Structure formats: structure tokens, C-alpha cells
Amino acid sequence: MGHFEMIDLVSVVNACTTGRATGRLVSMAKAVEELRVLTGDFISPDEIVANALSPVAWERGCAVLFDEQPGADILHTPWQEA
């Protein structure tokens, strides 16, 4: 898990888990940012942070959305189109 504390990883996963009809989902874009703010680590690459968070999310029964590239947190569904 690298240099991150387990309590920080669990806290971030809990905070970033959204409930959906199909199950619980964790967005890595949101989780990576939350962990950076919590720990003050703005240096570690996104993939290192996501690799620390994803096993914790899976162990908690969550699906993981690897969306940590720029703009990926902007999701559109067909019914949102005007």
C-alpha cells in the first residue's frame, strides 16, 4: 500500500463510495483527490494513489471506476442531453 496509512485509505473509500441500484461504486478520480487533500501528498502519481485505494475498495465490496484522467469525472448520460 505504499506510504499511505490504512485508516486514511478506508476513510477515503468510505467517503467516496456512492450507492447505486447495481451496487456500491468508488470513483478513483474523486478518491485520489480526497486522499491527496487528507494526506497532503500532491506528489505521488495518480496510478500509485489509485493502486493503494483500489484493493481497499474491493475488500469493502465496491466496484472501482478508474477514471482518474483529466475530465473523466464529467459523465454524461443520454437523458441529460438537452
Of the candidate ranges 8-12, 54-58, 71-75, the one whose mean pLDDT is the lowest = 71-75
Q: What is the pLDDT of residue 23?
A: 80
Write phi, then psi, for 74 (nearest 5 degrees).
-100, 100
- C-alpha 69/C-alpha 53 separation (Å) is 16
Predicted pLDDT at 3: 85
The answer to whether 59 and 72 are in contact (CB under 8 A) is no
pLDDT for residue 21: 65
The pTM for the full model equals 0.76
How far apart CA 79 and CA 82 sit, in angstroms, is: 8
List, for residues 12-71, the tens digit of each pLDDT value. Answer: 999 999 986 668 899 999 999 999 999 999 999 998 999 999 999 999 999 999 986 654
pLDDT on residue 2 = 58
Helix (H, G, I), strand (E, B) or coil at 2: coil
